[in-house]
């Protein structure tokens, strides 16, 4: 774990932090080969790659309703209620995001302009597996699609070696409202959702996080299906001052680190004393972490940085553009107001990232690797199309005709100009 003054970072150290996640190009050829195979050979390729990568032999690619029923019956009742509680909070937050279905404004007499929002026809939700199962991601990806009114929602998630999907993930998919659940992970799942196979219906858009291979696959299939954004290994940046608690801050770093060996955790503060406390506490908590092998591997990507001022902390954060940003300072608004780039922001000592991961209601599918500079986290607008509308009378067109004719003729599009003139001839 890097422990250093922010102003003393070498070019290589800063570049490693800011320009993280550059592995997409490294896996591009492998990903393209798998996509071509799935496109050309359909279910046969899907079964082959599932056996190769997930060590599972599957006959039926789609999960049956009976399998989902069996999974739900095996889950502890209180855990199921907690899942439903989280689902309801996620539903409420995304319902609040819904724009007005259609609206109009009068630009001038005879000219009404408006917008109409329409849900996408179909969406595929990718829910990671592998080191852990993520029923929460099923809720985060499927519920907003349903709230938006998407007609067909499918979920892909990798099976275990026994060919089955985690019971809680199946329960979450049922609670969220998935139409189809497929026992597919990795590049092959993305390819199947984009191009379709004998068993998998193609979708208009693919959403959800994944490893570098999944992210690269999403980027490569955009000629067939739109995606949300690149969402790779998870990350957190914490801005703190002397008012924060070192044990809490360290626990948030460990929580982030246990996701994945490639997860990134950064703590930045103007307080040298706090930085020292957090650094020591992280090492102590890492030593007793349940997933200590993953945590310690991830801490190779971590940093505790001492800034010259709070302004320097904010500047670094906006440059870093974290997936998750925690603000643990006395005057939270003095920092929040100057944050430009962050996937999701957690304000105060009692707003750790895990609340957003599971149950507060905000979405945890977020841009990583600095993509928060140009992308928003998953929200209701990812599942809607927006059409502009114009209602224009002859009186309204008369106020526009001279400008339209003049500009059209200047561009050499004489038929455009004529389509206006013809409406004013007897």
In three-state secondary structure terms, 23 is coil
CB count, 10 Å around CB of 195?
18
188 a known binding residue? yes
Residue 354 CA to residue 334 CA, distance in Å, equals 24
Tokens 């299939």 — which residue? 221
324 a known binding residue? yes
In three-state secondary structure terms, 60 is coil
121 a known binding residue? no
**Which residues lie below 8 Å from residue 135, measured CB to CB, with a gap of 6+?**
83, 127, 166, 168, 169, 171, 172
Tokens 């497929």 — which residue? 182
Residue 380 CA to residue 144 CA, distance in Å, equals 6
Instruction: Sheet with 111-119: list strands edge to edge.
Output: 102-108, 111-119, 384-392
259 a known binding residue? yes
411 a known binding residue? yes
Whether the CB-CB separation of 174 and 146 falls below 8 Å is answered with no
**Which residues lie below 8 Å from residue 367, measured CB to CB, with a gap of 6+?**
229, 230, 231, 323, 343, 374, 375, 376, 377
Q: Which of 180, 324, 364, 382 is catalytic?
A: 324
364 a known binding residue? no
256 a known binding residue? yes
Q: Which of 235, 258, 281, 323 is catalytic?
A: 323
Please say if 66 is a catalytic residue: no
Please say if 364 is a catalytic residue: no
- From the list 315, 319, 323, 311, the residue with the least C-alpha distance to 237 is 323
Backbone angles phi, psi at 259, to 5 degrees: -60, -50
- From the list 274, 172, 291, 218, the residue with the least C-alpha distance to 28 is 218
Token digits for 401? Answer: 């005709």
Letter string b/e over residues 307-341, b meaning 16 or more CB atoms within 10 A of that residue's CB: beebebbbebbbebbbbbbbbbbeebeebbeebeb
211 a known binding residue? yes
260 a known binding residue? no
CB count, 10 Å around CB of 402?
10
**Which residues lie below 8 Å from residue 350, measured CB to CB, with a gap of 6+?**
none
Residues of each annotated binding site for substrate = 234, 256, 259, 324, 357, 411, 416
Residues of each annotated binding site for NAD(+) = 126, 188, 211
Residues of each annotated binding site for Zn(2+) = 256, 259, 357, 416
Catalytic (active-site) positions: 323-324
């Amino acid at each position: 774990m890097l422990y250093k003054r922010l102003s003393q970072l070498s070019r290589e150290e800063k570049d490693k932090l800011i320009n993280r996640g550059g592995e997409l190009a490294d896996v591009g050829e492998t990903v393209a080969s798998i996509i071509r195979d799935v496109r050309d050979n359909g279910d046969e390729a899907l079964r082959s790659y599932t056996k190769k990568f997930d060590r599972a032999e599957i006959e039926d690619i789609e999960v049956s309703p009976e399998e989902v029923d069996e999974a739900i019956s095996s889950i502890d009742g209180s855990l199921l209620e907690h899942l439903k509680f989280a689902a309801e909070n996620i539903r409420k937050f995304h319902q609040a995001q819904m724009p007005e279905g259609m609206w109009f404004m009068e630009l001038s007499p005879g000219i009404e302009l408006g917008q109409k929002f329409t849900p996408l026809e179909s969406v595929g939700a990718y829910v990671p597996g592998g080191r852990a199962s993520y029923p929460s991601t099923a809720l985060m990806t499927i519920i907003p699609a349903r709230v938006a009114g998407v007609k067909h929602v499918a979920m892909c998630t990798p099976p275990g070696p026994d060919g089955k999907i985690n019971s809680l993930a199946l329960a979450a998919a049922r609670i969220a409202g998935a139409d189809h659940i497929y026992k597919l992970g990795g590049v092959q799942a993305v390819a199947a959702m984009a191009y379709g196979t004998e068993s998998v219906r193609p979708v208009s858009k693919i959403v959800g996080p994944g490893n570098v291979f999944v992210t690269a696959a999403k980027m490569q299939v955009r000629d067939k299906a739109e995606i949300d954004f690149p969402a790779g290994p998870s990350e957190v940046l914490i801005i703190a001052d002397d008012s924060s608690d070192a044990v809490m801050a360290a626990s948030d770093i460990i929580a982030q680190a246990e996701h994945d060996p490639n997860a990134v955790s950064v703590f930045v503060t103007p307080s040298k004393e706090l930085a020292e406390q957090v650094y020591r506490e992280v090492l102590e908590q890492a030593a007793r972490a349940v997933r200590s092998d993953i945590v310690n591997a991830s801490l190779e990507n971590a940093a505790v940085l001492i800034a010259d001022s709070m302004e320097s902390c904010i500047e670094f954060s906006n440059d870093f553009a974290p997936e998750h940003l925690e603000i643990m300072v006395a005057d939270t608004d003095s920092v929040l107001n100057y944050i430009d780039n962050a996937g999701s922001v957690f304000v105060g000592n009692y707003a750790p990232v895990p609340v957003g991961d599971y149950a507060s209601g905000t979405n945890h599918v977020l841009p990583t690797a600095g993509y928060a500079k140009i992308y928003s986290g998953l929200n209701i607008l990812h599942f809607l199309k927006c059409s502009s509308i114009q209602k224009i009378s002859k009186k309204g067109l008369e106020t526009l005709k001279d400008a339209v004719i003049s500009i059209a003729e200047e561009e050499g599009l004489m038929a455009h100009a004529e389509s206006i003139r013809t409406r004013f001839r007897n």
